[in-house]
Structure 1
Amino acid sequence: MSLLDDVGFGQTSTLDGLIPTPNLDKLASEGLRYNRFHTTAICGPSRAALLTGRNHHDTGNGFLMEWATGYPNDSTLIQPTTATIGRVLKGNGYTTWWYGKNHNTPDRETTVAGPFDRWPTGMGVDYFYRFNAGETHQYSPVLFENTVPVAVPPTAESNHAGTAV
C-alpha cells in the first residue's frame, strides 16, 4: 500500500503520470478509481489526513507544524490516541514502512533524544527512512533510519538526498 502526499493526481501511471504504479493500474482497470480527495494545499495537514483518514482539523493539523496556534484543533499535534494507518495495519498483521519526508513532528521533538511518539515509528510505522522535518539540505541531508541519525559523508553530488542510502 502506498500513501503519497504532495504529488497530485497526475503523478501516478494510473492517471497518465510518470510514476509506475502497476497495482493501482490493475485496480483502476477493474473499476476502482478514487477521484475525490479533500486537499489542504499544505503537506503536513494533507499527510495528517492521509495517515488518519480524518479531516486535518480533526487531527489538530490546521497548518504547518512550525506555525501552530492556540486555537482548538490547530496545535499541529496528532494525538497518541488518534488511530493512524500504521497502527491499524500493524494491528492487523501488516508490516509498514515510510520512506520520505515527515513534516508532522514538532521541531522540539525531532532531536535524537525524542520523544518519538510523533515520529513515524511512534505512529505505528515499522520502518522509517528519510528526514523528519519540512525540508533538508539536498547535498548534506539530515537523514534518519527509524530514530537513529544516518551518517551521510559530505562529499559532492553523489550524496543528493534523492540517492543517499
Structure 2
Amino acid sequence: MRRRTRAVLAAAVAALALVIAVPTLDDEERVDPYLNFVTAHLDVLPTEPLPVSADAKFSRTVAKFTDLESVEPALDACAGPVAVYLGAGHPKLVAEHDYCGGSDWMSKLDTNDVVQLTGRGVVPGLYTTETIKYVGRYDSTVDDMPDGDVVLQTCISKTEMVLVGLRLAAPVTT
C-alpha cells in the first residue's frame, strides 16, 4: 500500500511540475503576471551566476526591475529583491519585503560592509554600505532616502523600515 501511495504521489508531483513548466516555455515576449505591462524580455537569472566575492557579506540577484507604480505586485511575488526606478537624480531603490527575506540580510548590514548585487536594474558589482537610516514605515518619502548609487529598503517592524545607502565600489564584468 505504501509503494502505491508513493507512486501516485510521485506521479502527481511530476504532473504538477509539467503543468507549471509548460506555460513558461512561451516566446520571449509575454505579459508579466505580476506587472501591468508587456515585458520585452523574460527576467531570467543568468545560468552561470557570477562568482561571489569573498569580500561580500551578502550577494543578491535582483529578481525584477520595475517602476514605482508597479512595485507592489513585484514585491508581493516574493521572488527576490526588486530594483525600482525612481526617476532621474535619485538612486536606484532595491526593495524586498521583510517576510520575503529582506530583513534576513538588509537589517544585518553595518557601515563599510560589502554587498554584491547582480541582475536587471543595477550595475553588477560590489557595493559598500555608507549610510544606515531607520525611518517610519508609513510616513517616509523618497526625500528620506540616504545618498548612494543604490538604496536598499525593507521593513524591520510594524512601524519601522531600514534604508541602506550603498556606493558602487567595484563593477563586476561577466
* Shorter-chain TM band: under 0.3
For normalisation by structure 1, the TM-score amounts to 0.24
* Structure ranking higher in strand proportion: 2
Query: Bigger relative contact order, structure 1 or 2, given CA contacts below 8 A and separation 6+?
Result: 2
For normalisation by structure 2, the TM-score amounts to 0.23
Q: Max radius of gyration: which structure?
A: 2
